[in-house]
A and B are shown apart, each in its own frame.
Chain A
Amino acid sequence: MLTFEPYGNPTYFALLGVALLPLMIGLLYGKRSRLYETLVSIFFLVLTFGGSKWTQGVALIIYILYEVVLTWGYAVYRRNHNSGPLFYLMVILAIAPLTIVKVTPAVENGQASLIGFLGVSYLTFRAVQTMMETRDGTLKNYNIMTFLQFMLFFPTISSGPIDRYRRFEADYRSVPDRDKYLGMLQKGIRYLFVGFMYKFILAYYFGTILMPKLQLMAMHSRGGFLDISWPLIGYMYCYSADLFFDFAGYSLFAVGTSYIMGIATPMNFNQPWRSPNIKDFWNRWHITLSFWFRDFIYMRLVFWFMKHRVFKKPTTTANVTYIINMLIMGFWHGVTWYYITYGLFHGVALVINDTWLRYKKKHRQSVPHNKFTQIFAIFLTANLVCFSFLIFSGILDKIWFLK
């Protein structure tokens, strides 16, 4: 039985082209066949989670049923009631499988959890968000079939982008007019091709050809101050380039495929390397994840702190929340010292950034602002980010602690 990494090889794209062709023709003539879309989705899900990876497939099915019961149950309950503690309990239950998957390797010597599967994080984000919007009352007409389509939308199942239930539903329930759809097709095809360049040329060069060499050199050049060496610095930039081109390439595939299916899945990257500060960076890097964290963790924590008057000053509230927010993101990546340090690093960077921006606002006259300072800001931000990715890469763990 064949199994594929999503968007992993030419055969996958060939199959994608063949499967999407009838769908494209349908959409051009104003028709959307839900049955055909469902069949295509199932076909690609089986390709991703079938064959030798069937245990992941079983985990996926059980997980989906579990989340359906939770979200559907809560939606029915929410029609007439609104208890806080019950809502928290439901959210905790929804996150429980992901927590188990993330903690298992840390306590079981790196062994992966049995209930894990490719994309469990991204599905959890979607389920939790559905639940939270149900509580807010912004999501009123929860529908199991739509929820299933939303969760199992195959182009984005493995690693996002993280769409929103209501946005997805609006696209899914409607058919774009021909002119609009042609525009989407054009974008979709272009995204796929830029994705090819990112993932199969640039990420391959940085990640597969250059990175192992630099890693080996960095391991051999240990012994200096904190074992830092020129190859390690090279590795830092190389890893950052690989991380960006690999993930941005994948995201382009996912968004491009969605567009071809007439669904305008939101973009994940928007020229992150030209951000003038770290806050702006998070508005341009892995956008759907940072917006998810902003809307469902950061904002909610800030409101909660303000409602209960935990801190006197609003700036303190914001600062503490930044740190908590980024720490949670760190933990989400995995329970290792370097992911958590990475989260803490970005939390602190956001606090410093905010403080600096406030200072700058107050002292408009004395702080210069010109082309040079702008370029310097971009340079500084990019290097800071690369340094955070050096922590994130885990190579320091090998360099410092591997005998």
Chain B
Amino acid sequence: MAKRLLRIFGPLILAAILVFAVLASPVTFGFKHISTTRERQAAVSLSPNVLRGKHIKEAALSDGYVPFFGSSEWSRIDPMHPSVLAQKYHRDYRPFLLGARGTQSLTQFFVMQNIQGQLRNKKAVFFVSPQWFVKGGTRKDAFGFYYSQLQTAEWLTHYRHDAIDQYAAKRLLQMPAAKSDHFIYAALQRVAAGKSLTKDQRFYLQTRKNMLTQEDQFFSGINLPSQNLSRVNRQAKKLPTHYSYSALDRLGGQLGKQATGNNPFQISDKFYNHGLKQEIKTGNLKDFQKNLSYLQSPEYSDFQLCLDQFARLHTDVLFIIPPINQRWQKYTGLSETMLKQFDQKIHYQLQSQGFNNIVDLSDKGNVPYFMTDTIHPGWRGWLAIDKRVDPFLTKKQAQPRYHTSDKFYEKQWQQLEPSQLSQYENNK
């Protein structure tokens, strides 16, 4: 019987041991190399798998790519999109677009966790959307969609006992995604309580991290979407051979004019027809944002996580604050005063901590063909951004001096009315 049992279960046991050995071992199996084509594809793919993973990002960022953190704006690929301009005019950097619809500061903080080596003493671009700063902050389902156990496990193997990581743990515990692994959940509870991890937890996390790292190496390159790369290539063909800001600005205006016109908002016809038209007809959108505010939000503290992470790694970051299409803003009743106050509050958070590279475009909402739709830059908007991004990335910058403060994790800051900013500063 023993012999027969061995014949039946032998292969099963052997297979289980082999799979576990391969996954749990910290050795890489010749998957280290990633071709340049694959890097080019991944950099513009906006694929959630790439965002959640490590391997491809790590390889590309060590290879001349610069992380562009943000969200849905990256998918608005027209000839003036940063990826297109960088490729067409052979810049010595290439953007690696990180983020898609629904990614906000908290997701980006965890994205940074397993590319720390590629951020340390390097440069980055960070696109701050005012729309993130709504009352509830990041949506739980969106966060869950981009949640990566690999990034969490990696963070937990090197987290620090400070207010920053404690806040991150607490915030993560509020998300249903944290429950996807019971051991990680228990570890997070200890971090949130300011305790050290147990020996078993550390062992589990190390093993889990190894397994997820191997999985990422084996599988994250499979089925990488390539349609965005073809879009970039197609858009690049529309650009003149030599770069000239004024010529491109004119071209941007022309392209914008061609692409818009069937609506009073100067929104691209394609975007407008795709859903907005029907909604406008119902009249429900008129003044629907009248009471919307970006002034009180947990997002301010989530955003602070990103700032602290940059400060820890001495990353030199250029922040972009986009405008909102003014015709749209007027139609939906979104308060202009509120937008100005948002700008003040975010400026305070950035500048008081030494983050001084800010491209503030918030007053450009009325520039024709600056926005491609309601809230996303296009044509001339992208070009204006490029005008600042290019020199920032290609010229030597002074070493930034950050002095971050934990006060931005307090509820008081999240809820602070910008009109009380000066009072707040005096009291602190």
Residues of A within 8 A of B (CB): 28, 178, 182, 185-186, 189, 193, 209
Contacts and interface: CB of A to CB of B under 8 A. Distances in A.
16 contacts: A28-B1, A178-B1, A182-B1, A182-B4, A182-B5, A182-B8, A185-B5, A185-B8, A186-B4, A186-B7, A186-B8, A189-B8, A189-B9, A189-B12, A193-B12, A209-B223
Contacts of A28: 1
Cβ-closest 7 pairs across A and B = A186-B8, A182-B4, A185-B8, A189-B8, A209-B223, A189-B12, A178-B1
Interface in B1-48: 1, 4-5, 7-9, 12
B226 to A, nearest CB: 12
Contacts of B223: 209
Nearest to A192: B12
Interface of B: 1, 4-5, 7-9, 12, 223
A186 B4 CA distance: 9
Contacts of B7: 186
B318 to A, nearest CB: 36
Contacts of B4: 182, 186
Nearest to A190: B8
Contacts of A178: 1
Contacts of A182: 1, 4-5, 8
A28 B1 CA distance: 9
Nearest to A186: B8
Nearest to B223: A209
Contacts of A209: 223
Contacts of A189: 8-9, 12
Nearest to B5: A182
A1 to B, nearest CB: 11
Contacts of B9: 189
A209 B222 CA distance: 10
Contacts of A193: 12
A248 B7 CA distance: 25
A267 B1 CA distance: 27
- At the interface, is chain A mostly helix, strand, loop or mixed? helix
A61 to B, nearest CB: 27
Contacts of B12: 189, 193
A261 to B, nearest CB: 15
Nearest to B9: A189
A193 B10 CA distance: 13
Nearest to A187: B8
A279 to B, nearest CB: 37
B197 to A, nearest CB: 23
B297 to A, nearest CB: 29
A193 B9 CA distance: 12
A209 B1 CA distance: 44
A389 to B, nearest CB: 24
Contacts of B1: 28, 178, 182
B276 to A, nearest CB: 15
A58 B5 CA distance: 41
A164 to B, nearest CB: 28
Contacts of B5: 182, 185
A185 B11 CA distance: 13
A216 to B, nearest CB: 11
B8 to A, nearest CB: 5
A189 B12 CA distance: 8
Contacts of B8: 182, 185-186, 189
Given A182-B1, A189-B8, A193-B12, 8 more contacts: A28-B1, A178-B1, A182-B5, A185-B5, A185-B8, A186-B8, A189-B9, A189-B12
Nearest to B278: A403
A178 B5 CA distance: 11
Nearest to A188: B8
A186 B9 CA distance: 8
A209 B4 CA distance: 39
A364 to B, nearest CB: 49
Nearest to A182: B4
A190 to B, nearest CB: 9
B5 to A, nearest CB: 7
A209 B49 CA distance: 13
A28 B8 CA distance: 14
B68 to A, nearest CB: 27
B228 to A, nearest CB: 15
A206 to B, nearest CB: 13
A178 B4 CA distance: 11
A185 B1 CA distance: 12
A215 B5 CA distance: 46
B412 to A, nearest CB: 36
A185 B12 CA distance: 12
A193 B1 CA distance: 22
Nearest to A403: B278
Nearest to A178: B1
A178 B223 CA distance: 47
A23 to B, nearest CB: 15
A178 to B, nearest CB: 7
Nearest to B8: A186
A193 B8 CA distance: 12
A171 B5 CA distance: 22
Nearest to B7: A186
Nearest to A193: B12
B11 to A, nearest CB: 8
A178 B8 CA distance: 14
A252 to B, nearest CB: 15
A298 B418 CA distance: 76
A193 B4 CA distance: 18
Nearest to A10: B19
Contacts of A186: 4, 7-8
Nearest to B182: A2
A403 to B, nearest CB: 10
A133 B227 CA distance: 59
A262 B223 CA distance: 41
A28 B223 CA distance: 46
A182 B223 CA distance: 41
Nearest to A28: B1
A3 to B, nearest CB: 12
A178 B7 CA distance: 15
Nearest to A210: B223
Query: Which of B1, B8, B223 has the largest count of A CB atoms less than 10 A from its CB?
Result: B8
A186 B3 CA distance: 13
A366 to B, nearest CB: 53
B59 to A, nearest CB: 23
A100 B223 CA distance: 42
B323 to A, nearest CB: 33
B224 to A, nearest CB: 12
A186 B12 CA distance: 11
